[in-house]
Amino acid sequence: MGRLKNKRTIVLDQSRDVVVSKIMSLVNNVNDEYKDLEWDIQKDRNILCDYSQFLTKDDLKNTHENKRYSYPDHFSERISKTVTNPRFFSDTSPKPADVKQGIRCDYWLHAVISAAASIPGLIESIAVARKEDSYIYGFVFFKKDKWVGIVVDDYLFYKTQERTLLFSECKDPRITWVPLLEKAYAKCHNNYENIYGRCMRDALVGFGCKDYKAYKTYDIKHNPAKKDKLWNSFPSDMKKNNSIFVCHGERVGCGLISCHVYSIIRAVNFHNHRLVEVRNPWEHGEWKGSWSNKRYNQEWSPWIIQKDNKHYIEKLNYFLNDHDSFFMEYDDLLNQFDIIERCYYTPPATHTGLDLTNKPISSWWNGEYNIFYATLGQDESDLSILKLKF
């Protein structure tokens, strides 16, 4: 059994390069099957939740009745032992469609992860080292003015009856990067329950963002100049500006789920219609208004062709109802969401991720990256700016 003798599996430092170097060294020092004895999910029930906070059994019973801190019957096992030919990434890189939400409401985290996966190199900059044949993985996050390096094994929680993962997973169960990244993020916050119901800003900061801003869409949709400026800042098929967006709402509208988070994939000008592609990691609860997937004989009708016996929009390279994303008009986006929030990603000058099993994974990209997300049902703040240290 591989162990990290006399070395902690959490590394803290204000220098990201120092943390990355130490995490890579820790991973590189393991040659056998690794098990994280410092954060052992097979033995420590507080990894799910800090049960010490409940003074009596009645306290815990009351929280179970409210479906908080309550989990179905479960067990733990290596993901490498439960699937055939597991691998960290599909086709050497992560994809937004890989992300599938689990039973808990950390949908905000899944939306950020899904959107981040659309930028080449971003997820690889978080998952900085791995030895898949030794079942050891290293991740780096930013928390409370310090970079945090996390080492985890591949033991995960499974539902006993369904024999499926208890928390997040990839659509292809052989792909492991989503549940392992979530596990590392839970370890960074002490347990899984602590990442339940947090805000997206936590993940944005944790992934390394700065210059946070928030705007009221009311001021944007009634100001043509601001409206055009925001539209032109969105990523598109023709303009890959490496920005990512996530959005959530507090009120249900036209099929959207209240208090749920969606990621925005791209914006396109389709035959003089401004359309935005939106994705829901939960796989249900999608837009049912104009340009939705169900409206074959309305807005989409003139451009539908058959490909592989499916409805296909050639200009968008998009199969209607073939995945969990959908389109909505830009005006509908502004009308549905009250606030649009933005963060920038500015990568370090140099960094190369390391896959110690195969070949080196992607290095940090060049340039500056935008992160937007929108919220429904809020009225506060015309403009707020938060400077976050990267």
Q: In terms of DSSP bridges, do strands 369-375 and 244-249 run parallel, antiparallel, or are they unpaired?
A: parallel
Please give the positions annotated as active site. 260, 280
What percent of the chain stands above pLDDT 70? 74
Which of 66, 74, 19, 63 has its CA nearest to residue 41? 74
Distance between CA 46 and CA 36 in Å, rounded? 15
Show the tokens assigned to 132. 């898949």
Task: Point out the residues of the chain with pLDDT beneath 50.
Answer: 6, 54-55, 57, 59-61, 63-67, 350-390
By the 8 A CB rule, do 186 and 122 touch? no
By the 8 A CB rule, do 249 and 260 touch? yes
CA 31 from chain center: how many Å? 30
pLDDT of residue 388: 35
Which of 262, 250, 328 has its CA nearest to residue 113? 262
Q: Which domains does the chain have, with CATH numbers?
A: 10-199 (no CATH), 210-345 (3.90.70.10)
pLDDT of residue 93: 83
By the 8 A CB rule, do 293 and 311 touch? no
Which of 330, 262, 258, 233 has its CA nearest to residue 291? 330
- Strands (DSSP E) found in the chain: 10-13, 74-78, 99-100, 127-131, 136-143, 146-152, 155-159, 169-170, 210-216, 244-249, 260-270, 273-279, 304-307, 310-313, 318-319, 325-329, 339-345, 354-355, 369-375, 383-386
- In the chain, the amino acid numbered 121 is G
pLDDT of residue 241: 63
pLDDT of residue 370: 43
- Strands across the sheet with 354-355, in order? 10-13, 146-152, 136-143, 127-131, 354-355
Count how many Cα atoms sit within 13 Å of the Cα of residue 79 in the half-sphere of its side chain: 30
pLDDT of residue 325: 86
C-alpha distances out from residue 201 to 112, 138, 318, Å: 10, 22, 31
pLDDT of residue 283: 67
Burial class (CB in 10 A: 0-12, 13-18, 19+), 317: exposed
